[in-house]
Amino acid sequence: MYDVVIIGCGVIGAAAAYELSRYDLKIAVLESENDVATGSSKANSAILHAGYDPKPGTLMAKLNVEGNELAFRIAEKLHVPAERCGSLVVAFDEKDEEHLNELYRRGIENGVPGLSIISGDKARELEPNLSEEVRSALLAESAGIISPWDYTLAMAEVAVKNGTELFLNTRVTSIEKGECFTVRSSKGKTFKTRYVINAAGVNSDVVSEMVGDREFSVRPTAGEYYLLDKSEGERVSRVIFQCPNELGKGVLVSRTVHGNLIVGPNAVETDRGNTATTREGLAFVQETAKRSVPGIQFRENIRNFAGIRANTEFDEFCIGESRSAKGFLNLGGIKSPGLTAAAAIGRYAAGLLKDMGLELIEKESFDDTREAIRFKELSDLEKNELIKRDPAFGRVICRCETITEGEIVAALHSVIPARSINGVKRRCNAGMGRCQGGFCSPRVCRIIARELGIDETEVVEEKEGSNVLYSRLKEV
Ligand SMILES: Cc1cc2nc3c(=O)[nH]c(=O)nc-3n(C[C@H](O)[C@H](O)[C@H](O)COP(=O)(O)OP(=O)(O)OC[C@H]3O[C@@H](n4cnc5c(N)ncnc54)[C@H](O)[C@@H]3O)c2cc1C
């Protein structure tokens, strides 16, 4: 019998597991996909929002501001790339300026530090590539950028190191409530548990319906992006937003922690799981972004992608114990700023479970550390030492990002081992560069096959069934 079963291992499930793994509890995390962080937590803007946007007095406002602070602290402790670079919301006309004033007022009420409204000229002094049309801007010094999948992975890894059991490729199909919960999964495995946390992202309404709960419904809303080469990475230093609207936070231009430029998203209602990009959507993103930063060279684009927001009918996160099933906690409809708020949501969830009767006794042995080797960030001396210890660190596999065989092997034997080409990419950046894996993917594929003791035709790109090779040519 488990104390807590968490459904979904995006950043919210991972944050809940991270927080709960401090306590003496038997925890399982059930994730339908082949890895953690494959849903919205993989495909988003990767911004740690300051917290001036949510309405004062909402849970979203409180968790945004707390989560921003916690995210930077956790990132530093667990070696997750993050940077407090600040953000600007730019205004082009009087209506936008009214909006900036409103955001400023909200920010002050929400307790956001380092907020000020600056003139267009001052904004251009800070960001020389900003449009001449910008009349003023809201500067938020506490905003920043993070690697969203690394953040998710880091929290999940600490949870696993501290005894949490993670079940991948395990989709929850039904839940029965009796003396305890019986959670059934796609693989036929059944989990008995006292408490359930629903962190199923865009499917969180489907999972809550499994206990007869119809308190919210998800309206999946896609956001499409451009990811530009590092040659465009210095175009801006801060995150540049335009004024948000009811569908999202507007099209932004930002550096990523990996040194690229990210531009997007739009907001289009779609079907769950539809992460295709469209010509019209990308054209809109390009045109809108050029309003704030006209000089962006879109020919430097290396990838387009889309992420799905778990928008609901509420302008709030759907967090709370289900009215239909005692012991069932919804962390549902976690749209933006969910990434920022994640760690605070994890803490808040632990507090709610305590109020719901779960005893929380802190473990003495809780290990809140994580190792990460990033070869290219080492000094020459450290590189030499590492290569002497393990010659695999002397073989560069991904030339664009200078990722060594040693790092790929480490990713395949880490606390939550990579099981796919994209899993390797998320852990050590192999394939993230200008050629997007064109050169290194076949070599990564070979290393995966060798390390996992499988045939190369069994290696998947991401999900089960996404095999990258059909068969050996001479056999066809
Ligand atoms: C376009 C876009 C831009 C965004 N930008 C930002 C930003 O810049 N800053 C910010 O703070 N937030 C941002 N967000 C919001 C943020 O990404 C999300 O709030 C956050 O990732 C939600 O995490 P999650 O764990 O709830 O969902 P997910 O990451 O989607 O995780 C849910 C998990 O549940 C699993 N699952 C689903 N159903 C089942 C089932 N039946 N059984 C088992 N597992 C299941 C899924 O496979 C998935 O892994 C953005 C979101 C989008 C889409």
The ligand 1 atom at the shortest distance from the C-alpha of residue 337 is 11
Q: Are strands 328-332 and 318-321 parallel, antiparallel or unpaired?
A: antiparallel
Residue nearest to atom 31 of ligand 1 (CA): 10
Mutate to test the pocket of ligand 1, among 339, 345, 416, 420 (most ligand atoms within 8 A of CB): 339
Residue 197: inside a domain, yes or no? no
pLDDT per residue as tens digits for the range 386-411: 999 999 999 999 999 999 999 999 99
Specify whether 410 is located in the same domain as 279: no
| Confidence tier at 320 by pLDDT (50, 70, 90) | very high
Q: Which of 284, 308, 332 is the last residue of a domain?
A: 308
Q: Is the CB of 38 under 6 A from ligand 1?
A: yes
116 Cα–ligand 1 center, Å: 31
Residue type, 201: G
The percentage of the chain sitting over the pLDDT mark of 90, rounded to a whole number, equals 95
Q: Is the CB of 267 under 6 A from ligand 1?
A: no
pLDDT per residue as tens digits for the range 20-52: 999 999 999 999 999 999 999 999 999 999 999
Residues 264-268: what's their mean pLDDT? 95
Residue nearest to atom 37 of ligand 1 (CA): 200
Mutate to test the pocket of ligand 1, among 44, 52, 66 (most ligand atoms within 8 A of CB): 44
| Confidence tier at 457 by pLDDT (50, 70, 90) | very high
Specify whether 381 is located in the same domain as 243: no
Residues 358-375: what's their mean pLDDT? 95
Residue 17: inside a domain, yes or no? no
Specify whether 131 is located in the same domain as 227: yes
Query: Is 413 annotated in the active site?
Result: no
Q: How many domains does the chain have?
A: 2
Q: Is the CB of 311 under 6 A from ligand 1?
A: no
Q: Is the CB of 53 under 6 A from ligand 1?
A: no
CATH code, 272: 3.30.9.10
CB 200 within 8 A of CB 245: no
Model pLDDT, residue 476: 61
Supply the pTM of this predicted model.
Answer: 0.97
| Confidence tier at 249 by pLDDT (50, 70, 90) | low
The residue from 49, 99, 258, 413 that is catalytic is 49
List of residues 6+ apart from 244 with CB closer than 8 A: 53, 89, 250
Residue 271: inside a domain, yes or no? yes
Distance, in Å, from the CA atom of 27 to the CA atom of 15, rounded to the nearest integer, reads 13
Specify whether 299 is located in the same domain as 405: no
pLDDT per residue as tens digits for the range 142-180: 999 999 999 999 999 999 999 999 999 999 999 999 999
Residue nearest to atom 26 of ligand 1 (CA): 201
Q: What are the E-state strand segments in 179-258?
A: 181-185, 190-198, 218-228, 239-241, 252-255
Range of the domain at 287: 83-143+218-308
pLDDT per residue as tens digits for the range 180-196: 999 999 988 999 999 99
Specify whether 430 is located in the same domain as 292: no
User: How remote is the C-alpha of 118 from its chain's centroid?
Assistant: 31
CB 219 within 8 A of CB 269: yes
6 Cα–ligand 1 center, Å: 14
Model pLDDT, residue 255: 98
Residue 236: inside a domain, yes or no? yes
Model pLDDT, residue 471: 83
Residue 99: inside a domain, yes or no? yes
pLDDT per residue as tens digits for the range 429-439: 999 999 999 99
Mean pLDDT of the chain: 96
